[in-house]
């Protein structure tokens, strides 16, 4: 699949078959991520890769954590966690993405952008490989304690999101997009 086809066919997938993704496939996707543009060649992205066994351990751990389970938004928190715990076992793999924070605001912004570009590379590589994906910012997965569980240091790494990967039960339809003319200003 060429780059334009991958870009146009990438979809947010939330329903997976539960089939595992092997390590070699995940390494191929991660290798695509590392070729993202990076300011100052800092390569600030970090990936915590959870296979199905690790996802099962995380799923058992999350509900035992009151600081995650009992979020300030009590109306949404428990229901959102319950939905997450229902979906996690269906994934082929989960990748938590962080970037190394810089105390310099300009460098930190550049490094966040580089980590987002790496994430998009990974998502496009997944699409090209026939793997469904979802870029999630679920608060339970982004919680500092969850990040520590994944081996990240929230004091020095920012949470960009979790990439849900797996074999899609079905390919979602293309979402509507506004015309290019509504999003571009040509300057002469």
pLDDT one-digit tens code per residue, 28-53: 999 999 999 999 999 999 999 999 99
Computed over every residue of the chain, the mean pLDDT equals 93
Q: Is the pTM of this model over 0.95?
A: no
Q: According to CATH, what is the number of the domain 3-169?
A: 3.40.109.10
- Contact yes or no for 163/135 (Cβ under 8 A): yes
**pLDDT for the residue numbered 74:** 45
Task: Note the pLDDT of residue 77.
Answer: 62
pLDDT value at residue 137: 93
Least Cα distance to 169 among 121, 119, 131, 128 occurs for 131
Q: Are the beta carbons of 166 and 91 closer than 8 angstroms?
A: yes
Q: Compute φ and ψ for 117, nearest 5 degrees.
A: -65, -40
Q: Lowest-pLDDT range, 7-11, 15-19, 154-158, 184-188?
A: 7-11
Average pLDDT over residues 83-93: 96
Collect all residues with Cβ–Cβ distance below 8 Å to 143 and sequence separation of at least 6.
65, 67, 68
Q: Is the pLDDT of residue 72 over 90?
A: no
């Amino acid at each position: 699949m060429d780059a334009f086809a991958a870009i146009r066919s990438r979809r947010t997938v939330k329903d997976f078959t539960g089939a595992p993704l092997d390590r070699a496939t995940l390494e191929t996707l991660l290798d695509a991520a590392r070729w993202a543009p990076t300011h100052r060649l800092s390569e600030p992205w970090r990936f915590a890769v959870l296979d199905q066994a690790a996802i099962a351990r995380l799923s058992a751990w999350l509900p035992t954590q009151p600081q995650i389970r009992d979020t300030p938004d009590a109306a949404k928190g428990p229901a959102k966690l319950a939905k997450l715990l229902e979906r996690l076992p269906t994934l082929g793999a989960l990748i938590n993405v962080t970037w190394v924070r810089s105390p310099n605001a300009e460098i930190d912004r550049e490094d966040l952008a580089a980590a987002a570009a790496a994430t998009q590379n990974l998502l496009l590589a997944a699409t090209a490989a026939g793997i469904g994906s979802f870029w999630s910012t679920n608060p339970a997965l982004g919680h500092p304690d969850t990040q520590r569980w994944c081996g990240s240091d929230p004091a020095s790494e920012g949470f960009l999101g979790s990439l849900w990967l797996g074999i899609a039960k079905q390919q979602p339809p293309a979402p509507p997009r506004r015309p290019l003319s509504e999003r571009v200003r040509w300057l002469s």
